[in-house]
Amino acid sequence: MRFPSPICLIAVFMTVLMAQSAFSQTPPPERLSLQDAIRIAQSRNPLVRAGTARIAGADARLNGAGALQNPSLTLAQPFGRNTGGLDEGTVLTETVELGDKRRQRVRASLGERDALRFDFTGTQTGLALSAQTAYFEALRADVEKQLAENVLSNAQAFTKVAQLQFQAGDVAQRDVIRSQIELSRAEQTLTVAETERANRYANLRSLLLFPADTPLILTDSLTFSPDTYSLPTLLKTALESRPDLQSARKIREAREAALHGARAQSQPDLLIEARRSTLDPTVGGNSLRVGVIFPIFDFGRIKSDTNSAKAALREQEATFEEATRVARLDVETSYRNLEQARKTVESFQKGRLDFSKRLLEMAQLGYANGANTYLELLDAQQVYRTEQTDYARALTLYNTARATLQRAVGGKLP
């Protein structure tokens, strides 16, 4: 009796270990609800980190805008005498802005910071819509794959029955050929559905920054709540709550502050100076001067800054007007799409699904009793399958349209 060589035993042992290791490394399924998907998208997406960084930068600029000007210290060795106060060895100078310059600079920085915060809210709202859309599409793909599997199972069963009936002489050969054609179609339909499902789940995993091999179990389903909304109320809510419009308003306020700040450059400033006559701390005298700095001439800088600020304000007013127009159109379009999707779902629930199911049951019963042909049964199956698929797509469109309207009005439906 021959025994396996040690090398073969080692190879078998290593293969078993590698298989067990690969099995143990398979990630467990991730149960994912719709709210979980929204929360993860709003916390992990790189756009969130980018928005947070922009706000942090705006906060820093706001703090700098409200700070006093830095004092300057001049150290020099004078070589003259009695030159009108220009021979001090140490001069400490502080300029204090008078008038409206500092306040307007703070207002401009505050408006820009608040605009970025509203932009961040808009980013979060957009990520919520993306997560909901990806989730709904994955649910639809699940339904279509399940329907395709059922169709394939029925086609396989009918192919076997048709072959047996043909061998028994109960049906013609054309029924066998037709059943084989339907089997091939069902296999192809399932392949397409599996590919679509894989793509939809890959899109969802990518959006949520999950590893590509993470299996997902979606715990929610496609639902329908026949809510109705008032278009005037939706428009009012959008004009008050949309982050992009609020951001545009804040930018306009910042531009107005920048214009006032440019005009305020012609206002005087307070000058405070502490002087010492020599660098040697043991000798010399000290003096303190307080004065006012007047910009008595403008060689074009203040005028140019003012004209530039006026142009920026006009630009932002036009931008806000266009953003308002786009927002109104967005709400109106989303509202009509939701109404159409609602009516489509209701048409299925008011009889279409029941009629298609009843038609299939009648065809199955008639075929079993010999009253219907195989072609009539196939036609009833096709009608039922099409209605179920269209219903799943209608539910997906409805849920997506509702999420789109929610984003269009600013993130929360009234």
Mean predicted confidence (pLDDT) in 212-229: 93
Of the candidates 412, 408, 284, 268, the residue with the CA atom closest to the CA atom of residue 338: 408
> Binning pLDDT at 50, 70 and 90, where does residue 80 land?
low
374 has a pLDDT exceeding 90: no
Provide the pLDDT for residue 330. 97
Mean predicted confidence (pLDDT) in 298-309: 90
Mean predicted confidence (pLDDT) in 193-207: 97
Residue 7 token pair: 């090398």
Mean predicted confidence (pLDDT) in 237-256: 96
Of the candidates 377, 358, 357, the residue with the CA atom closest to the CA atom of residue 161: 377
Provide the pLDDT for residue 88. 67
Of the candidates 139, 329, 149, 303, the residue with the CA atom closest to the CA atom of residue 231: 329
Contact (Cβ atoms closer than 8 angstroms) between residue 218 and residue 212 = no
Q: Which amino acid is at 403?
A: A
Provide the pLDDT for residue 245. 97
Cα distance between residue 413 and residue 341, in whole Å:
17
- Any idea what DSSP says for residue 209? T
Residue 372 token pair: 């219907």
Fold type of domain 34-408:
Outer membrane efflux proteins (OEP) (1.20.1600)
> Binning pLDDT at 50, 70 and 90, where does residue 1 land?
very low
> Binning pLDDT at 50, 70 and 90, where does residue 273 land?
confident
327 has a pLDDT exceeding 80: yes
Q: Which of 1-5, 43-47, 252-256 has the lowest mean pLDDT?
A: 1-5
Of the candidates 69, 129, 125, 133, the residue with the CA atom closest to the CA atom of residue 102: 69
Mean predicted confidence (pLDDT) in 355-361: 90
Query: Tens of pLDDT along 147-191?
Result: 999 999 988 888 887 787 777 776 677 778 888 888 899 999 999
- Any idea what DSSP says for residue 276? E
Provide the pLDDT for residue 165. 72
Q: Is 226 helix (H, G, I), strand (E, B) or coil?
A: coil
Mean predicted confidence (pLDDT) in 219-245: 94
4 has a pLDDT exceeding 90: no
Distance of CA 413 to the CA centre of its chain: 18
**For helices 173-207 and 374-408, what crossing angle results, to 10°?**
20
3-state secondary structure 15-68: HHHHHHHHHHCCCCCEEECHHHHHHHHHHHCHHHHHHHHHHHHHHHHHHHHHCC
Contact (Cβ atoms closer than 8 angstroms) between residue 55 and residue 116 = yes
pTM (predicted TM-score): 0.84
Contact (Cβ atoms closer than 8 angstroms) between residue 34 and residue 208 = no
Comparison of pLDDT for 215 and 169, the residue scoring more: 215
Plot region of 84 (φ>0 → left; ψ -120 to 50 → alpha; else → beta):
left
319 has a pLDDT exceeding 90: yes
Mean predicted confidence (pLDDT) in 357-382: 84
Cα distance between residue 45 and residue 388, in whole Å:
35
9 has a pLDDT exceeding 70: no
Mean pLDDT of the chain: 87
> Binning pLDDT at 50, 70 and 90, where does residue 121 land?
very high
10 Å CB burial of residue 407 (0-12, 13-18, 19+) is buried
Residue 311 token pair: 């142009």
Mean predicted confidence (pLDDT) in 12-34: 65
Query: Tens of pLDDT along 336-349?
Result: 999 999 999 999 99
Provide the pLDDT for residue 23. 44
282 has a pLDDT exceeding 90: no
φ, ψ of residue 77 in degrees (nearest 5): -105, 110
Residue 140 token pair: 């639809």
Provide the pLDDT for residue 24. 46
Q: Which of 166-180, 235-249, 256-270 has the lowest mean pLDDT?
A: 166-180
Using a pLDDT cut of 90, give the percent of the chain over it: 58
Q: Is 95 helix (H, G, I), strand (E, B) or coil?
A: strand
Provide the pLDDT for residue 83. 53
Comparison of pLDDT for 217 and 155, the residue scoring more: 217
Of the candidates 212, 100, 161, 227, the residue with the CA atom closest to the CA atom of residue 374: 161
Cα distance between residue 197 and residue 190, in whole Å:
10
Mean predicted confidence (pLDDT) in 64-73: 89
